A and B are shown apart, each in its own frame.
Chain A
Amino acid sequence: MLVPILKQGDYLIASVQSELSDADLLKLRDDLVSRVGEFRSRGVIVDVTILDVMDSFATRTLRSMAHMIMLRGAKTVIVGIQPEVAFSMVQLGLKLENVATALDLEEGMALLDRQTKGDTRRG
């Protein structure tokens, strides 16, 4: 199932609506990496609240996605990892190294605001 991507100001918000197959995840990655350029976005939020499984493939895809988006000049925040999912990721030995995470959408937005708008406040 496709993940809708919303543009909100300088950010893109991808809110996962159902369980994702591998192909869906790869599509989401490719879409976000290209849309960041299309909309000149500074940040991307991926909301995974709905996901009840994040296995090695999902984790690796999110990590590579965040890295690609970083190379395109934007920040990524993964929000909404459920407690059970966090527990299982740690048991499995999965790491989201160098990928920002936040509790929910609101916290994710706040984190992006701090990271992408911090510089402008000085001037």
Chain B
Amino acid sequence: MADENCIPINSEVDIVTARQKGREMAAKLGFSSTELTLIATAISEIARNIVEYAREGEISLSIGQQGDKRGIVVIGCDNGPGIPNIKLAMQDGYSTGKSLGLGLPGAKRLMDEFEIVSEVGKGTKVTMKKWVQNHAR
């Protein structure tokens, strides 16, 4: 499976596309229905962050392998204003926009791995992974 899927995020409509594509790919990997919802929701949150703060960017979906673990890798990146204080942005309830401030910390809770790199004036890159649990194989 050479599935790699890149979804441009230019408007709020693309948020729905990104999470549907993510769900489809995760379903092929054998995630449970609850996990599919968690993955789709996490994608929705980071895609919304792109629309809200950077206006445009992209979400790329791919299959990850680490040892005997297989899973989905979601990368959201943009060339937006960047996040000056990542520690603060990862706090529940912190928001500079009009959201609840649960997007980034929430997405982190929904996934197994979460990494965020951001540079002010350059952009932000969020990498999230979720591994298929053994019982689901």
Could you say which residues of chain A place their CB within 8 Å of the CB of B19?
53
CB interface residues, B 93-108, toward A, < 8 Å: 99-100, 102-103, 105-107
8 Å CB contact of A56 from B34, B38, B40, B100: B100
Chain A 31-71 interface mask (CB, 8 Å, partner B; 1/0): 00000000000000000000011111101100000000000
Could you say which residues of chain A place their CB within 8 Å of the CB of B34?
83-84, 87-88
**Interface majority SS (helix, strand, loop, mixed), chain B:** helix
Chain A 62-95 interface mask (CB, 8 Å, partner B; 1/0): 0000000000000000000011110110011110
Residue of B nearest to A18 (CB): B16
CA A91 to CA B99, docked complex, whole Å = 17
Instruction: Judge if B128 is at the interface, Cβ distance under 8 Å.
Output: no
Could you say which residues of chain A place their CB within 8 Å of the CB of B92?
93
Could you say which residues of chain B place their CB within 8 Å of the CB of A54?
41
CB-defined A-B contacts under 8 Å, sample of 12? A22-B48, A53-B41, A53-B44, A55-B41, A57-B99, A83-B34, A84-B37, A88-B41, A88-B110, A92-B45, A94-B100, A94-B106
Apart from A56-B103, A92-B106, A94-B100, 15 more pairs, CB < 8 Å: A19-B20, A53-B40, A55-B48, A56-B99, A56-B102, A56-B106, A57-B44, A57-B99, A83-B34, A88-B34, A88-B41, A92-B102, A92-B110, A93-B102, A94-B106
